[in-house]
A and B are shown apart, each in its own frame.
Chain A
């Protein structure tokens, strides 16, 4: 005769304040004992009405506003908007500007992935890699500061090109920085990759099946870690990425470890692209002559531009009515989809696994809330 134990489900609130830098995201967890039964993300704590603000700003003024759309990879935000405006106005960007853009975008990707490395390690309990990741990220941020003056929100890539030319010491310093980062990567991976505790915490945890990922529109490293070979730099090429020789890393399993390793592989590929770009940097103009900040007026129409950001597909759908200000700027960020897919596969695990899972998804809340 077996008596049925009555268990109650209770709600734990992983509140908007987080010890890690994911941003302000609230997760309402319904738990049955130790296991999570349901996750309900509550967003909107970082909503700043960026899209609405952009409707009242000229194209040049939109760029610093959109810097804050995803402030960890601000160059990508600048770039995707400029790409949309250039597609609308059918402007050709000079060669040197394209090379500079690629250099900045890839440097920003490395910086973002280094931050991911640090934050993920910290969430899972190893505190030191955070400082190591940020130490290398400083090298990249110093390069940005030298070029455009800011460390986080750059306002550098403009419609028609870039705003300032790189100073003389940029190329040698950049080469040195990527050499150091390449060497230090072996240090970091030695610290964590084969560590049995790390493997216990991340291998086989929170597997995201490929069909679920595709159904929810997940893109970027999370999609590629589930085995789907899809990278906008190859599938829908933009800028001059078709000139560079690099691989798109793909991993089969879709667990936390694969998502982590994939981003480390991506850093290596970005270093490859960077060395090729630095070698092939031509001389020339850095901005299209006819485009002036104050008077840029694209013809009426609409354009969608999407790029491969560190977090997935970042897109801007631009509608113009022929005036100096855009009619509608619709932003699309990769983190939004990844947060949406989290409740679908993130249940039936312990809170510790949820923390590891959420960390490896690399969700940045400004992209979700805008």
Chain B
């Protein structure tokens, strides 16, 4: 059941006006719905693309200041539109068509990656009543949709007609699949207490004091958050799990044969993924858009997400890389037992009612 879409309160009136106008023109309900949802989709897509561009700039500045240098400084104040110029540059680069039999696979891999990254935002609670569709299977839907990236990695590796790209693609896919298990188990730990999969319900269950946030509910909260964040870093293929992107490991990753806009799609998809996992972390562990009333709720959401994104970026610029077999060993031999033990503990707590 798709709930009614709600928007920014200021635009809500405008949206209602659009909705009523369309209905008044006598179009069938289907068409009215299609037009309204399409508009919403375009708006969300636009906002997210801007966020992705901004995140790239944020990453470059953070990495630069951690290394005591400046980063982009020339395009705009401290380089704020550097990413736009980079995107323009990538647009006019030659789109190299490699010799391969599977042209369809090669072509569609970046598209699928890009689209899959955006699909998760249908159920993302940006703020109070700001959600596109409050599905009652919200978090399950997100888990299902983020798994599409695995297909695109395999397609990229296969379609590149390059044995090293294939190796890289398979390694990436194995990594993402392995780290799905601890990620889902950490999420499940929280869902036990919420009682519902809907994103809005999860956020509402943490309303009130700051200590209602799930991350503070000892002992399973912090552990679930830590395991979730580690699994999320691996999902996004970021250091210390960035074997697919490492330049020093000469058997390079799945995107080695892509150039120009196709490469840009992989790149942007990575940053959108990063925002997605941070948004899920904020929703589950840090109270979503809850906060004091004098700041609008979506600013709370955005601020908290950016802090988690900052944490992910600091991980990248602080830690060395794990070797591929150590990575898999870490997932299966350490993270999975810990998350499942945590899950059992949380279950026990819920059964005996030892929580507030």
Contacts and interface: CB of A to CB of B under 8 A. Distances in A.
A–B touching in complex (CB under 8 Å): yes
A200 B323 contact: yes
A19 B319 contact: no
Given A12-B251, A126-B318, A352-B249, A131 B323 contact: no
Interface string B157-193: 0000000000000000000000000000000000000
Contact of B247 (A19, A132, A192, A201): A19
B239 interface: yes
Nearest to A123: B248
Given A127-B63, A127-B317, 16 more contacts: A121-B320, A122-B248, A123-B248, A124-B321, A125-B242, A125-B246, A125-B248, A125-B322, A126-B318, A126-B320, A127-B67, A132-B67, A195-B320, A197-B321, A201-B326, A353-B323
B68 A197 contact: no
Given A128-B318, A191-B318, A200-B323, A14 B240 contact: no
Nearest to B250: A14
A200 B249 CA distance: 17
B22 interface: no
A198 interface: yes
28 contacts: A12-B250, A12-B251, A19-B248, A20-B248, A121-B320, A124-B320, A125-B239, A125-B242, A125-B248, A125-B320, A125-B321, A126-B318, A126-B319, A127-B63, A128-B318, A131-B67, A131-B69, A197-B240, A197-B320, A198-B320, A200-B322, A200-B323, A201-B320, A201-B322, A351-B250, A352-B249, A352-B324, A355-B248
Interface in B200-258: 239-240, 242-243, 246-251
B231 to A, nearest CB: 16
Nearest to A199: B320
Nearest to B316: A127
Nearest to B164: A12
A352 B323 contact: yes
A350 B326 CA distance: 11
B293 interface: no
A47 interface: no
Contacts of B322: 125, 197, 200-201
Counting chain A residues whose Cβ lies within 8 A of the other chain, the interface size class is: 20 to 34
Contacts of A234: none
A241 to B, nearest CB: 35
A135 B69 CA distance: 10
Contacts of A197: 240, 319-322
A42 to B, nearest CB: 15
Among B68, B239, B249, B320, max chain A CB count under 10 A is at B320
Nearest to A352: B323
Interface of A: 12, 14, 19-20, 121-128, 131-132, 135, 191-192, 195, 197-198, 200-201, 350-353, 355
A124 B250 CA distance: 13
Contacts of B69: 131
B85 interface: no
Contacts of B318: 126, 128, 191
Contacts of B239: 125
Interface string B73-100: 0000000000000000000000000000
Contact of B66 (A19, A125, A128, A350): A128
B325 interface: yes
Among B63, B243, B248, max chain A CB count under 10 A is at B248
Contacts of B324: 350, 352
A192 B249 contact: no
A20 B250 CA distance: 12
A191 B317 CA distance: 11
Contacts of A124: 248, 320-321
Interface string B308-320: 0000000001111
A136 B77 CA distance: 29
A296 B69 CA distance: 48
Please provide the 8 A-B residue pairs with the shortest distance between their CB atoms, ordered closest to farther: A125-B321, A131-B67, A125-B320, A126-B320, A352-B323, A124-B320, A19-B247, A128-B317
Contacts of A132: 67
Nearest to B247: A19
A123 B247 CA distance: 9
Contact of B68 (A131, A200, A201, A350): A131
A140 to B, nearest CB: 17
Among B240, B243, B251, B319, max chain A CB count under 10 A is at B319
A135 B68 contact: yes
A349 to B, nearest CB: 10
A147 B112 CA distance: 60
A14 B249 CA distance: 10
A35 to B, nearest CB: 11
A197 B270 CA distance: 23
Contacts of B247: 19
B194 to A, nearest CB: 33
Contacts of A125: 239-240, 242, 246, 248, 319-322
A132 B318 CA distance: 12
Nearest to B243: A352
Contacts of B66: 128
A351 B68 contact: no
A235 to B, nearest CB: 35
Contacts of B323: 200-201, 350, 352-353
B319 A200 contact: no
B315 to A, nearest CB: 10
A350 B246 CA distance: 15
